A and B are shown apart, each in its own frame.
Chain A
Amino acid sequence: MNHAIRNSWIAAVAMFALIFGALSYVQVVGADELQANPWNKRAILQNYCNDRGAIIVGGKPVAQSVAATESCKFQRTYTEPELYAGITGYFSKNYGVTGLESALNEQLAGSSDQLFLDRVGQLFLGNQPKGASVELTLDPAIQKLAYDLIPDGQRGSIVVTNPKTGDILATVSKPSYDPNLIATQDANAEAANFNELNKVPGINLNPNVSGPTGALLAPGSVFKLVDTAAALSSGKYNKDSELPNPAEMSFPGIQYKLPNYAGGNCYTQNTASFAFALQQSCNTPFASIARDLGQKAIADQAAKFGFGEDLGDQLKLDYAKKAFPEEELDPAGLAQSAIGQRDVRATPLQIALMTSAIANGGVQMRPNLIKTVRSPDLRVISEPKPEVLRTSTSPEISRQITEWMTSVVSEGIGRGAAVPGVQVAGKTGTAELGTDGLNNSWFTGFAPANDPQVSVTIVMQGVDITTGAQLTSPNAKKIFEAVLNK
């Protein structure tokens, strides 16, 4: 027996040898790599009390470091905190760093290679280290307007971009919060505020959860733009195609029937042109396109619009990216997915990029929040140029879809978004959340249709049909007017 006991001891020691090896690897051999990992917030927090650069919108700082106590010289403060919380994120001692504070840390903390000479200077002159300031592409007036267009107590997001450059003009979400509450140096208050805020539905301050505009939502009918592009590029359909438009679609072997959209005039025709189907947002024509083209064609087109792909935005809102379902769908599942229901999900930014690609001749631009980065002596050290992200579809197809989207606003169910004297292209969406009659209500569109300057994407979560219609298309109109009248 003693022999076996000794062997068991050897086994236990062998396990411990593995532990010693694993610990050495993590703490010494592989430590540098772990320290350099972009998810690692500890490096950022090492400079917690330093003078970070400001984040500037329209010439005014929305996040800046101000002189604080002797032990911790600088304190991060946010002006108009709720308005910009979704962009700046917070800079907290105990809960980490989020938003641009995290994404642009190299510049803000002054550790970027471009600031090397500044750092050498600071070292010799004995000055406090100071970071670069970052000016954003946001337009403060549009940002404020968009924020106020979401009623308090309503969950929703609005993204406004320039489709030609990818610059983001406004991005807001409600509910929002005050990052000053988390950035405070008072640890007790910080903990209490953090816990309190996390209880609010729609706010999740976990540093590794996407900000509110990164929420994954069912896109509903705005996804029909993907079906349309897939249909046109397949060659099987053209602008004059007549699509089947039955009142409901049945599937072999199951009871479920996919109904047509009840809100518009779909019921008046048994077949529909693309224009009519988009104007009235009929379901069955697009379900039949998906059945005809197959799941892969829809999924491929969705990926070309960026679904499930890297969006390259500085806020990393594509954290929770989701592709069109990859596992094989049954016929009913494919039909439901084709109209943006079932397991299809997208972030508001994703939908904004899809629309911007259509507006920009099929070319999707990388979404950009940064106008200029300036060193502490105000020298411009970087200035991002517009960058092509991917080609989503051809210029011809995007022109054709634009024409139909224009008719959605001029004579379809998107009339609320019409701006007098300007051609507006748009598409609405209503994604059912359950059986309680509440929906995610969408509008996505751009203007002017012939020379797009601005794209607007609005989503209101958990609203009934009427409220949803009031809060989406008419609000888009106000934003179009505000941007175009500048």
Chain B
Amino acid sequence: MTQIEATPKPRRNTELALLILALAVGIGANALVGVDQEKAFDQDFWFQSSLLAAAALVFHVVLRVRAKYADPVILPLVVALNGLGLAMIHRLDAPGDDTGNNQLRWTLIAMAVAIAVIWFLKDHRILRRFTFISLAASALLLILPLIPGISAGEILGARVWIKLGPMTFQPGEIAKITLAIFFAGYLSSNRDLILLAGRKLGPLQFPRVKDMGPMITAWLVSIGVLIFQRDLGSSVLFFGLFIVMIYVATSRISWVVIGVALILGGGYVASKVFSHVGLRIDGWLNAFTDEVYGRQFGGSFQIVEGLFGMANGGLVGTGLGQGRPNLVPFANSDMIIASFGEELGLIGLFAIVLMYLLLFTRGFRAALGTRDAFGKLLACGLSFAIALQCFVVIGGVTRLIPLTGLTTPFLAAGGSSLLANWIIVGLLLMISHAARGPVDTTPMPQGAAPAEEKPVPPSPPRPAKQPGRQPSSTHPDAPTEAVKQL
């Protein structure tokens, strides 16, 4: 796939056209949601729509300036998904609820951070310098929710939130990114050692403990902490991320086989040892029995209600604002896919799932196109993480696999998840810029200061930060999704 193109094309105008389409989808959905109610086309609607459109256009302009060869499809896809999510959350807000505005606030913060990443980082390869810092950051982020005083305690059965002033935050979402950076950095430096040095045992070649040590440690720590925090979904996600990245680095299918065997074995042991895991599996297998359905904690009520909602939607859906998705618990977060299934029908959900498919495919495309191993590993890992997260969430909601508490990227209410996924988008855009742009033969600047501390270049064509957005990013005063859900 690395055919030489005659002259790389930026394709920013394509992006602009698609972006307008994406905004039309998101804002149109939001308008439809309000049509039935008195609040149709009120001040809030215009306020929210114009802010979303402005932020998307600023993002587009930043790409024109800083990453003009970036993939033109990624940003419109994400804006459309994010806009649809906003519309559905707004639609599900009971009178007096403010989840919709809160989600918009987080969207703007997340986009600002993603813009900042693109603006200041300039080249994704710089991240490779932070391989071990990323490992330390991941460990810190994962341990934070367990530290008394910082921890927000156990919310909905999991200890994954920390207090940030009046808000709560889920640092594990960010750890997803830092772990991917660590895996990519470590594997790209050591893949030869892992591949070649080591003992052969039967058909399998085992690398030296010395070479695999940091990987195994990182993996064990993350899984261990997550089990301790009772965050089943993230455990699966990290495990998948780990497997796919080590597979891409070594091209050895044996890793995948071992990994999948470990997942199944570990899952079986966990279901026997940890009651919450056992309950999840029971709620999945026996969802339609009286006992499991009526159980107050860890029952199947949520998933069964979600299935009823989706069945009610059928092929074409009830129409936005016409169904009853609010009969399902967590209709705007964990179960938002069921809400879409009910109101947009199978056709609408297929469209949404196809958008995810396109999104991760463009991510993989960037991985194929970029020339450095680090970038390949990072793009591939992050793209696969998006795909796996969608699979775990949608599979759980449709009762294909047991339901675990993961958020649907960009759609579900939740600030931490939005922030993390927008940063991922920023990274993918940069990698795709490197992949699609003209071959850069100049060596990377050596000894540059860490990107975050770099001063703003003296004469950027446009200011990096938009006035008016900053205040909201420093004073988000509404409670986050976690508090709302209580």
Kindly list chain B residues whose C-beta atoms are within 8 Å of the C-beta of A95: 327
- Pairwise interchain contact B251-A1, C-beta atoms closer than 8 A: yes
Check if A255 is an interface residue, CB within 8 A of chain B: no
The docked-state distance in angstroms from the alpha carbon of A95 to that of B324 is 10
Check if B94 is an interface residue, CB within 8 A of chain A: yes
- Pairwise interchain contact A23-B312, C-beta atoms closer than 8 A: no
B294: which of A6, A20, A24, A319 is its contact (CB, 8 Å)?
A319
- Pairwise interchain contact B247-A8, C-beta atoms closer than 8 A: yes
Kindly list chain A residues whose C-beta atoms are within 8 Å of the C-beta of B247: 4, 7-8
- Pairwise interchain contact B390-A6, C-beta atoms closer than 8 A: no
Most buried by A among B356, B357, B383: B357
The docked-state distance in angstroms from the alpha carbon of A13 to that of B395 is 14
Taken residue by residue from 40 to 56, chain A's Cβ proximity to chain B (1 for < 8 Å, 0 otherwise) reads as: 11100100000000000
B353: which of A5, A19, A42, A96 is its contact (CB, 8 Å)?
A19
Check if A67 is an interface residue, CB within 8 A of chain B: no
Taken residue by residue from 1 to 40, chain A's Cβ proximity to chain B (1 for < 8 Å, 0 otherwise) reads as: 1111111110111011011101111111011111101011
Check if A94 is an interface residue, CB within 8 A of chain B: yes
Q: A1-B373, A28-B315 are in contact. Are A8 and B248 (CB under 8 A)?
A: yes
Interface hit among B47-55, B69-77, B221-229, B361-369:
B361-369
Interface residues in B304-358 (C-beta closer than 8 Å to A) = 304, 307-315, 324, 326-327, 341, 345-346, 349-350, 353, 356-357
Interface residues in B390-404 (C-beta closer than 8 Å to A) = 390-391, 394-395, 398-400
Check if A187 is an interface residue, CB within 8 A of chain B: yes
Check if B301 is an interface residue, CB within 8 A of chain A: yes
The docked-state distance in angstroms from the alpha carbon of A32 to that of B288 is 15
Kindly list chain A residues whose C-beta atoms are within 8 Å of the C-beta of B250: 4
The docked-state distance in angstroms from the alpha carbon of A89 to that of B373 is 64
A28: which of B2, B296, B346, B395 is its contact (CB, 8 Å)?
B346
Which chain B residue has the least Cβ–Cβ distance from A34? B311
- Pairwise interchain contact B361-A9, C-beta atoms closer than 8 A: yes
- Pairwise interchain contact B304-A39, C-beta atoms closer than 8 A: yes
The docked-state distance in angstroms from the alpha carbon of A15 to that of B290 is 31
- Pairwise interchain contact B346-A42, C-beta atoms closer than 8 A: no
Q: How far is the CB of B262 from chain A (nearest CB, A)?
A: 16
Check if A238 is an interface residue, CB within 8 A of chain B: no
Size class of the B contact interface (CB-based, 8 Å): 35 or more
Check if B387 is an interface residue, CB within 8 A of chain A: yes
Kindly list chain A residues whose C-beta atoms are within 8 Å of the C-beta of B395: 15, 18-19, 22
- Pairwise interchain contact B353-A16, C-beta atoms closer than 8 A: yes
- Pairwise interchain contact A34-B394, C-beta atoms closer than 8 A: no
Check if B61 is an interface residue, CB within 8 A of chain A: no
Kindly list chain A residues whose C-beta atoms are within 8 Å of the C-beta of B118: none
The docked-state distance in angstroms from the alpha carbon of A42 to that of B353 is 25
- Pairwise interchain contact B345-A39, C-beta atoms closer than 8 A: no
Check if B179 is an interface residue, CB within 8 A of chain A: no
The docked-state distance in angstroms from the alpha carbon of A94 to that of B93 is 12
Secondary structure at chain A's binding surface: helix, strand, loop or mixed? helix
A16: which of B248, B249, B356, B373 is its contact (CB, 8 Å)?
B356
Check if B376 is an interface residue, CB within 8 A of chain A: yes
Check if B284 is an interface residue, CB within 8 A of chain A: no
Check if A209 is an interface residue, CB within 8 A of chain B: yes
- Pairwise interchain contact A26-B360, C-beta atoms closer than 8 A: no
B368: which of A5, A25, A37, A94 is its contact (CB, 8 Å)?
A5
Which chain A residue has the least Cβ–Cβ distance from B365? A9
B390: which of A19, A24, A209 is its contact (CB, 8 Å)?
A19
Q: How far is the CB of B303 from chain A (nearest CB, A)?
A: 11
Which chain A residue has the least Cβ–Cβ distance from B312? A42
Q: A3-B251, A31-B314 are in contact. Are A22 and B346 (CB under 8 A)?
A: no
Kindly list chain A residues whose C-beta atoms are within 8 Å of the C-beta of B345: 27
- Pairwise interchain contact A16-B390, C-beta atoms closer than 8 A: yes
A26: which of B1, B341, B387 is its contact (CB, 8 Å)?
B341
Interface residues in A178-209 (C-beta closer than 8 Å to B) = 187-188, 191, 208-209
Q: How far is the CB of B483 from chain A (nearest CB, A)?
A: 15
Kindly list chain A residues whose C-beta atoms are within 8 Å of the C-beta of B350: 20, 23
Check if B117 is an interface residue, CB within 8 A of chain A: no
Q: How many residues of A contact B (CB 8 A)?
A: 48
- Pairwise interchain contact A16-B314, C-beta atoms closer than 8 A: no
Check if B244 is an interface residue, CB within 8 A of chain A: yes
Kindly list chain A residues whose C-beta atoms are within 8 Å of the C-beta of B357: 13, 16
- Pairwise interchain contact A22-B94, C-beta atoms closer than 8 A: no
Check if A262 is an interface residue, CB within 8 A of chain B: no
Check if A320 is an interface residue, CB within 8 A of chain B: yes
The docked-state distance in angstroms from the alpha carbon of A163 to that of B351 is 59
Check if B106 is an interface residue, CB within 8 A of chain A: no
- Pairwise interchain contact A26-B353, C-beta atoms closer than 8 A: no
A23: which of B96, B251, B288, B394 is its contact (CB, 8 Å)?
B394
- Pairwise interchain contact B307-A187, C-beta atoms closer than 8 A: no
The docked-state distance in angstroms from the alpha carbon of A7 to that of B364 is 10
Check if B388 is an interface residue, CB within 8 A of chain A: yes
The docked-state distance in angstroms from the alpha carbon of A191 to that of B94 is 8
- Pairwise interchain contact A31-B311, C-beta atoms closer than 8 A: yes
Q: A19-B391, A23-B353 are in contact. Are A1 and B312 (CB under 8 A)?
A: no
Kindly list chain B residues whose C-beta atoms are within 8 Å of the C-beta of A35: 308, 311-312
Check if B463 is an interface residue, CB within 8 A of chain A: no
Which chain A residue has the least Cβ–Cβ distance from B393? A19
- Pairwise interchain contact A23-B398, C-beta atoms closer than 8 A: yes
Q: How far is the CB of B355 from chain A (nearest CB, A)?
A: 11
B388: which of A6, A12, A187 is its contact (CB, 8 Å)?
A12
Check if B384 is an interface residue, CB within 8 A of chain A: yes
The docked-state distance in angstroms from the alpha carbon of A4 to that of B248 is 5
Q: A16-B353, A26-B341 are in contact. Are A4 and B251 (CB under 8 A)?
A: yes
- Pairwise interchain contact A26-B376, C-beta atoms closer than 8 A: no
Kindly list chain B residues whose C-beta atoms are within 8 Å of the C-beta of A5: 248, 364, 367-368, 376, 380
Check if B461 is an interface residue, CB within 8 A of chain A: no
Q: How far is the CB of B55 from chain A (nearest CB, A)?
A: 29
Q: How far is the CB of B204 from chain A (nearest CB, A)?
A: 17
Q: How far is the CB of A3 from chain B (nearest CB, A)?
A: 6
Check if B471 is an interface residue, CB within 8 A of chain A: no
- Pairwise interchain contact A96-B391, C-beta atoms closer than 8 A: no
- Pairwise interchain contact A23-B364, C-beta atoms closer than 8 A: no
The docked-state distance in angstroms from the alpha carbon of A11 to that of B388 is 10
Kindly list chain A residues whose C-beta atoms are within 8 Å of the C-beta of B96: 188, 191
Q: How far is the CB of A347 from chain B (nearest CB, A)?
A: 13
Taken residue by residue from 371 to 413, chain A's Cβ proximity to chain B (1 for < 8 Å, 0 otherwise) reads as: 0000000000000000000000000000000000000000000
Which chain A residue has the least Cβ–Cβ distance from B97? A191
- Pairwise interchain contact B398-A25, C-beta atoms closer than 8 A: yes
Which chain B residue has the least Cβ–Cβ distance from A322? B291
Which chain A residue has the least Cβ–Cβ distance from B353? A19
Q: How far is the CB of A349 from chain B (nearest CB, A)?
A: 16
Kindly list chain B residues whose C-beta atoms are within 8 Å of the C-beta of A94: 324, 326-327
- Pairwise interchain contact A42-B364, C-beta atoms closer than 8 A: no
Q: A5-B368, A319-B294 are in contact. Are A191 and B301 (CB under 8 A)?
A: no
The docked-state distance in angstroms from the alpha carbon of A1 to that of B1 is 12
- Pairwise interchain contact B290-A319, C-beta atoms closer than 8 A: yes
Taken residue by residue from 86 to 107, chain B's Cβ proximity to chain A (1 for < 8 Å, 0 otherwise) reads as: 0000000011100000000000
Kindly list chain B residues whose C-beta atoms are within 8 Å of the C-beta of A41: 308, 327
Which chain A residue has the least Cβ–Cβ distance from B256? A11
Check if B293 is an interface residue, CB within 8 A of chain A: yes
25 pairs, CB–CB < 8 Å, chain A vs chain B: A2-B368, A4-B250, A5-B364, A5-B380, A8-B244, A8-B248, A13-B361, A19-B353, A19-B394, A19-B395, A19-B398, A20-B350, A22-B395, A22-B399, A23-B349, A27-B315, A28-B314, A32-B311, A42-B308, A42-B309, A42-B312, A96-B327, A187-B94, A188-B95, A191-B96
Shortest beta-carbon contacts, A-B, top 5: A34-B311, A12-B387, A22-B398, A31-B311, A15-B391
Given contacts A16-B390, A27-B346, A191-B96, 12 further A-B contacts (CB under 8 A): A2-B368, A2-B376, A4-B248, A8-B364, A23-B310, A26-B310, A31-B314, A39-B304, A42-B324, A94-B324, A208-B294, A209-B294
